Chains A and B, each alone.
Chain A
Amino acid sequence: MDNFTVGVVVFPGSNCDRDVSWALEGCLDIRTKYLWHESSDLSDVDAIVLPGGFSYGDYLRCGAIARFSPLINALDEFVKSGKRVLGICNGFQILTESGFLPGALVANKNLNFICDDVELDIVSSKGGWFNNADEKQTIKLPIAHGEGRYHCDSDTLKKLVDNELIALRYKNNPNGSSFDIAGITNEKGNVLGLMPHPERACDKIIGGTDGLFTLKSLILK
């Protein structure tokens, strides 16, 4: 994977872009390139991360304005080509607002901004984003969000369950998400959105390495 490059998208208000880049470059030796949201040229990146933060100040709704950036417009073709896209936290919100993933993320049930480590069950490893060799595998990742309550209607939930699109479920639901959902994929499996932050769990010295597998899987074809 000599020249494999992960594009890390920077919106006004992104604040986890450098963390993602650090985790990929420093912990995994994967090359990264920052992509300003006004760029629509994705020709020299092989995978894309939409990082966490508060794009456009979360105005209107989280991710609602980011959806109209030139980069997100160009993402459609990128996704259709089968290349991998990972949306973390605000990135997950952007993926739902722009229709790449179903459902929506709304204010936490208890209205608190929750900043904590959470235990997660890996439900499906569709797309190879998680190591699911052991069916009962649980991982621990940090969350940090005010609007992380996953919501969808019952038909969508059935579709998610039937098609094994639910990637992660909270062991102890912190925010009121439907069906304890913490992360989902698209049907093809090349798009993953999740509220927890794998990039903040990539080095033992900061509390854990359970996020490494997901970031490393960006280089899968």
Chain B
Amino acid sequence: MDQFAVKVFVRLRPSVLDPAGEATKSASIKLGAEGIKSLRIGKMIEVKIEGNGENEVREKIDLLCDRLFANTVIEDYEYSLEKL
């Protein structure tokens, strides 16, 4: 069995308003940061997972992302995978 470290990024779809991102953008500007054009907040999920090779692990992660980690009505996801 191989072990993999997976980092999943879940983001609100571009069409979905992100009020928390807007509020953070506003605070960033108050802090004095210049030039911020857009700021959106997502989630990062770290998973350590075992499986027989990368393909099998990708299948498991795809299922997790599609059914649990992200709600694809409002969110997109992507992930990176590193063999340990």
Contact = CB atoms under 8 A, between A and B. Distances in A.
B68 interface: yes
B36 interface: no
B18 to A, nearest CB: 8
B73 A104 contact: yes
A61 B15 CA distance: 18
Given A107-B20, A108-B19, A110-B19, A64 B73 contact: no
Report, as a range, how many residues of chain B touch the other chain.
10 to 19
A104 B74 contact: yes
B69 A151 contact: no
Given A109-B17, A151-B16, A61 B71 contact: yes
B73 A151 contact: yes
A106 interface: yes
B23 interface: yes
Contacts of A111: 19-20, 23
A176 interface: yes
Nearest to A110: B19
Nearest to A109: B19
B16 A106 contact: yes
A107 B71 CA distance: 14
Nearest to A108: B19
A152 interface: yes
3 tightest A-B CB contacts, nearest first: A104-B73, A104-B74, A111-B19
Interface of A: 60-61, 64, 68, 96-97, 102-104, 106-111, 149, 151-153, 176
24 contacts: A61-B71, A64-B68, A68-B68, A96-B73, A103-B73, A104-B71, A104-B73, A104-B74, A106-B12, A106-B16, A106-B74, A107-B20, A109-B17, A110-B19, A111-B19, A111-B20, A111-B23, A149-B17, A151-B16, A151-B74, A152-B73, A153-B15, A176-B17, A176-B19
